[in-house]
Amino acid sequence: MVVDEPVTELALASVLQVTVDQVVDSLEALVPTYEDRGFTLKAINGGWRFYSHPDCSAVVEKFVLDGQQNRLTQAALETLAVIAYRQPVSRARVSAIRGVNVEAVMKTLITRGLVEEYGVENETGAILYKTTSYFLERLGLNALTDLPPLAPHLPDLDGLDEILDSLTD
């Protein structure tokens, strides 16, 4: 409750002077005991952290924000999704996928700590971007592999095979 980032099992074991296995067993045993409370214990981004229970999110949000709106715009959410699923990715590639210039949106995402520079693309020299550990933490994910699959959100393409077959005939 007193840390700003998820705490690793190793750090907890060191502080408590027990084995990592004992910490893991204890944490996993604690998780279900918090189901009916105002908070939960989650393994996030390589560590453990307390979070407010999802059922309490509206009250917590109101308390924290106190009427202020600090949400991302639709453009920022779309850009963040492209980066999350295609990373590492260049700004030009994100713009091409979205079909609009993403300069201002990228600055917002970097400023908010959700995206960071990752390196340089060998062929073009373009700067590559990826999501940060803060992104995982804010979304309540342990790893990028926990992102939901995109397929259910894509347009229905049942007839695509028939169309492609007719074009090749």
Domain spanning 9-65: which CATH class is it, in words?
mainly alpha
Ranges of residues in the chain with a pLDDT under 70 are 1, 64-70, 151-169
Q: Domain boundaries in the chain?
A: 9-65, 74-153
Contact by Cβ (8 Å): 74, 112: no
Q: What is the pTM of this model?
A: 0.56
| Cα–Cα distance, 121 to 26 (Å, whole number) | 44
Picking from 142, 147, 149, 169, the residue whose alpha carbon sits closest to that of residue 44 is 142
Indicate the length of the chain as a whole number: 169
Condensed to tens digits (0 to 9), the pLDDT of residues 69-104 reads: 567 889 999 999 999 999 999 999 999 999 999 988
CATH topology for the 74-153 domain? Arc Repressor Mutant, subunit A (1.10.10)
